[in-house]
Amino acid sequence: MLISIIIPIYNVEKYLNRCLDSVMKQSFQDIEIILVNDGSTDNSDNIIKSYLFDERIKYIYQKNKGLSEARNTGLIIASGEYVLFLDSDDSIEPNTCYELSQVIERFEVDIVVFGRYLIKDCIEKVRDPAYWGNNLLDGKEYLVQAKLNNRFSASACNRLYKLSFLRQRGLNFKSGIVYEDLLFNFQCMIQGARVYVLNELLYNYYIGRNDSIINTIKEKDLDILFTVNELFVIYEKYKYPVIKDVFYWIIYDWVSNAVSYKYPRIAIFNKKAISITRIITQDSRYKSVLLYCSTCHVIGFKRRILSWLQVRMFYVYYFLIGLLVRIKKLA
My answer on whether 208 and 223 are in the same domain is no
Model pLDDT, residue 245: 76
My answer on whether 206 and 295 are in the same domain is no
Model pLDDT, residue 159: 97
My answer on whether 209 and 246 are in the same domain is no
My answer on whether 194 and 255 are in the same domain is no
> Is there a contact between 86 and 95 (Cβ–Cβ < 8 Å)?
no
For residues 9 and 208, the model is more confident at 9
Among 131, 139, 44, 124, residue whose Cα is nearest residue 88: 44
| Rounded Cα distance, 234 and 134, in Å | 26
Task: Choose one of 213, 244, 259: the last residue of a domain.
Answer: 213
% of the chain residues with pLDDT over 90: 53
174 DSSP assignment: P
Task: Choose one of 198, 213, 228: the last residue of a domain.
Answer: 213
Model pLDDT, residue 94: 98
Residues present in the chain in total: 331
| Domain at 158, CATH number | 3.90.550.10
Model pLDDT, residue 221: 57
Chain segment 13-44, per-residue pLDDT in tens = 999 999 999 999 999 999 999 999 999 999 99
Model pLDDT, residue 207: 86
173 DSSP assignment: P
| Rounded Cα distance, 188 and 3, in Å | 19
Q: Over 80: is that where the pLDDT of 195 sits? A: yes
Model pLDDT, residue 217: 44
My answer on whether 192 and 227 are in the same domain is no
Confidence band for 214, pLDDT divided at 50, 70 and 90 = very low
> Is there a contact between 110 and 193 (Cβ–Cβ < 8 Å)?
yes
String of DSSP letters for 64-131: ---HHHHHHHHHHH--SSEEEE--TT-EE-TTHHHHHHHHHHH---SEEEEEEEEEETTTEEEEE---
Domain that residue 61 falls in: 3-213
My answer on whether 183 and 323 are in the same domain is no
My answer on whether 189 and 263 are in the same domain is no
Q: Over 50: is that where the pLDDT of 139 sits? A: yes
- Domains in the chain, number: 2
| pTM score over 0.75 | yes
**Cα four-point dihedral sign 230, 236, 237, 239:** positive
Q: Comparing 27-36, 245-254, 305-314, which segment has the lowest mean pLDDT?
A: 305-314
User: Which residues, other chains included, contact 209 with Cβ-Cβ below 8 Å and sequence gap of 6+?
Assistant: 89, 121, 122, 215
My answer on whether 159 and 276 are in the same domain is no
My answer on whether 108 and 156 are in the same domain is yes
Confidence band for 210, pLDDT divided at 50, 70 and 90 = low
Confidence band for 157, pLDDT divided at 50, 70 and 90 = very high
Query: Which secondary-structure segment (H or E) carries 175?
Result: none
Mean pLDDT score across all residues of the chain: 84
My answer on whether 272 and 178 are in the same domain is no
Chain segment 52-79, per-residue pLDDT in tens = 999 999 999 999 999 999 999 999 999 9
Model pLDDT, residue 224: 73
Give me the mean pLDDT over the 152-180 stretch: 93
My answer on whether 134 and 265 are in the same domain is no
Task: Choose one of 188, 213, 238: the last residue of a domain.
Answer: 213
Among 232, 249, 240, residue whose Cα is nearest residue 298: 249
Query: Which secondary-structure segment (H or E) carries 296?
Result: none
Confidence band for 169, pLDDT divided at 50, 70 and 90 = very high
User: Which residues, other chains included, contact 221 with Cβ-Cβ below 8 Å and sequence gap of 6+?
Assistant: 178, 258, 262, 266
Q: Over 80: is that where the pLDDT of 307 sits? A: no
Model pLDDT, residue 29: 96
My answer on whether 66 and 158 are in the same domain is yes
Q: Over 80: is that where the pLDDT of 161 sits? A: yes
| Rounded Cα distance, 311 and 22, in Å | 43
